[in-house]
A and B are shown apart, each in its own frame.
Chain A
Amino acid sequence: MTDLHSVLLDEDKCEGCTNCVKNCPTDAIRVHQGQAIIKDEKCIDCGECVRSCQHHAKQISTDGLDKIGDYKHPIVLVAPSFYGQFTTDIDPVKIVIAFKQLGFEEVWDVALGAEALTRKTAQYLKDNEGPIISSSCPTVVRLIKLLYPELLDYLAPFKSPVQLVAQRAKERAIKEKGFAEEEVGVFFITPCPAKMTTVNNPLGLEKSYVDGAIAVDKIYRKLLKKVKNMDVSMDYEEYETPYLGISWGKRGGEADLLSSENTISVTGIHNVTSILDELDRGDLPSIKYFELVSCEPGCVGGVLNVKNPFVAQFNIENLVEDHGKFIEQSLDDYDFELDKEFTPNTVAPLDDDFASAMAKLTELEEEIDELPGLDCAACGAPDCRTLAEDIINGLANRTDCIFILRQQLAELTDEMSSLAHSLPPIIQDEGD
């Protein structure tokens, strides 16, 4: 793994099947000599490969709870979707207390930032014609950077709820509590690899306000034990649950809160890709706001969660029911502005020179015609087109295709046998 991504491969477990290759939405994976390889420049950290690997060879590198010991003042940020991991008889305040018992000095809800961002976005929608695409899901932002650079201008130019809350909590600990910057460690309990990646590789920011990310599935058991054994009468003074913000954890939560017409909520990376295709070709003039989330149905579907995504969605719906008000807070407590624009991250053309690129394109089409067109992925590329592209780029051979290989072997065998039969009779006699 590099700083760029958090999905990595356990080489002992990888059997060299091509399930992940075929499910990757950006064609970022190839199998070579029995091992999957992820191309860094194309991976958007969606986690589809983790989902599709039956051998559990794809792993996600996150931090352990022990890392909080590196900081004098560790702060934890709880994702909205995290509440979906518990049944509704467990009051959110218990989860907050349990985090404190695990060693965190402060517990912050990302949902609080989600509520603030909702209000900010509602203002922005009034002043802008749209279309506007939510920039809260890092995978969606990376997907647009890679495959839809022409849509980058539509991304809402704001920090994500995680970064908003991280910045607020961190600056407050420094200013109001007098900690030095290096003494404050902000940790996010992450449902997905994409948000893990933003710790080292944030989007639109010079540096991330989050210092570490702990996977939900790494902390869940410890937390559950504490929550289950907790005295029900315990209370926690300053805590107010941001119920509305928590609804961001499931599909529609974000868009519904905007209470604006012409919003759409699309979840699941392949659905997101197809809606972006439509937007790209100018086919959706009447939709103004796009809530797009890589996981289905929303962040509750993140691969690092423990509960079935739809059960988690159900839990959140039950939890937030009957709560109709935002937490009182000032938008001035947050710094929404990004440090820099979202920039394209497109794959290089076949050649920088147009004429040479044209020539290579012809070569590519010819190569595609040579291949059988079965898209079986046995060669390690997701389909014949992609293999052809790899061949043109010098990254693969035509004989990586098992059908071509078999055909060439058959030809070779024919040649050999005809060669054998053409031996002079005298040698044949001696051989007997």
Chain B
Amino acid sequence: MGSNADSKEIINAEVEAGDFSSGGEISSKLKDLLRKLGTSSKLIRKIAIITYELEMNIIIHSEGGSLAAEVNPGRIDIIARDEGPGIEDVDKAFKPGYSTASESVREMGFGAGMGLCNIKNYADNLEVESELGVGTTIRASIDLK
């Protein structure tokens, strides 16, 4: 499910590790853009929550990265890329147990508060690719029903 000719990036921004003061800026900006596109407020809320989780993940747990939003036919993708440390066991990170046990999730390089599991609750599709010591790419898709 990569980018194609019909897909259009509406945001692509760097996220610095540890930059708490900018936390939430990207999700706010995306919210504003989606409103301009006439997206329903229910969907906007979902997307804002996902974006914020991903944004904070990068700020708190990674060595920096970027966040992008892509409009595709029928859906919107939020793509988070970071430059490490990577997740050791991706399946484990999805387990609901890790959703609140943020300490353990953190040890795996993830989890601003509710983490991956929370993102999964809001996204219609979620793909995670991660390599220890290299970085993680997460693509969360939300259907534009």
Are the C-beta atoms of A349 and B36 separated by less than 8 Å? Answer: yes
> How far in angstroms is the closest Cβ of chain B from A42?
13
Are the C-beta atoms of A349 and B10 separated by less than 8 Å? Answer: no
Q: Looking at the complex, which one of B35, B44, B52 makes contact with A283 (CB distance below 8 Å)?
A: B52
Are the C-beta atoms of A357 and B35 separated by less than 8 Å? Answer: no
Are the C-beta atoms of A358 and B42 separated by less than 8 Å? Answer: no
A4-12, A28-36, A65-73, A274-282: which lies at the B interface?
A: A274-282
Q: Which residue of B lies closest to A280 (CB)?
A: B48
B1 within 8 A of A: no
A173 within 8 A of B: no
Are the C-beta atoms of B44 and A150 separated by less than 8 Å? Answer: yes
B38 within 8 A of A: yes
Are the C-beta atoms of B37 and A354 separated by less than 8 Å? Answer: yes
Residues of A within 8 A of B35 (CB): 346-347, 349
Residues of A within 8 A of B10 (CB): 361
Are the C-beta atoms of B42 and A281 separated by less than 8 Å? Answer: no
Residues of B within 8 A of A285 (CB): 113
Residues of B within 8 A of A350 (CB): 36-38
Q: Which residue of B lies closest to A147 (CB)?
A: B35
Are the C-beta atoms of A349 and B45 separated by less than 8 Å? Answer: no
Instruction: Decide: A357 near B37, CB < 8 A? Known: A150-B42, A277-B24, A278-B24.
Output: yes
A interface footprint on B25-59 (CB within 8 Å = 1, 0 otherwise): 00110010101111001101100110111000000
Residues of B within 8 A of A352 (CB): 38
Residues of B within 8 A of A277 (CB): 24, 28
Are the C-beta atoms of A357 and B38 separated by less than 8 Å? Answer: yes
With the chains together, A428 CA to B38 CA distance in Å?
61
With the chains together, A346 CA to B52 CA distance in Å?
22
A interface footprint on B61-97 (CB within 8 Å = 1, 0 otherwise): 0000000000100000000000000000000000000
Residues of A within 8 A of B31 (CB): 280
A351 within 8 A of B: yes
Q: Which residue of B lies closest to A149 (CB)?
A: B41
With the chains together, A14 CA to B119 CA distance in Å?
50
Are the C-beta atoms of A283 and B36 separated by less than 8 Å? Answer: no
Chain A: how many interface residues by the 8 Å CB criterion?
23
Q: Looking at the complex, which one of A281, A347, A364 makes contact with B52 (CB distance below 8 Å)?
A: A281
Residues of B within 8 A of A349 (CB): 35-38
> How far in angstroms is the closest Cβ of chain A from B35?
7
With the chains together, A285 CA to B49 CA distance in Å?
12
Residues of A within 8 A of B36 (CB): 349-350, 357, 360-361, 364
B interface footprint on A360-396 (CB within 8 Å = 1, 0 otherwise): 1110100000000000000000000000000000000
With the chains together, A282 CA to B112 CA distance in Å?
12
Are the C-beta atoms of B49 and A282 separated by less than 8 Å? Answer: yes
With the chains together, A277 CA to B45 CA distance in Å?
11
Residues of B within 8 A of A362 (CB): 8
Are the C-beta atoms of A281 and B27 separated by less than 8 Å? Answer: yes
A344 within 8 A of B: yes
Instruction: Decide: A281 near B8, CB < 8 A? Known: A350-B36, A357-B37.
Output: no
Residues of A within 8 A of B48 (CB): 280-282
Residues of A within 8 A of B38 (CB): 349-352, 354, 357
Residues of A within 8 A of B53 (CB): 282
Residues of A within 8 A of B114 (CB): 282
Residues of B within 8 A of A346 (CB): 35, 41
Are the C-beta atoms of A280 and B37 separated by less than 8 Å? Answer: no
With the chains together, A285 CA to B112 CA distance in Å?
13
Having A149-B41, A349-B35, A358-B37, one finds 10 other A-B pairs with CB under 8 Å, namely A150-B42, A150-B45, A280-B31, A280-B48, A281-B49, A282-B118, A347-B35, A349-B36, A350-B37, A354-B37
- Shortest 9 CB-CB distances between A and B: which pairs? A349-B38, A281-B52, A150-B41, A150-B45, A282-B49, A149-B41, A357-B37, A350-B36, A281-B48
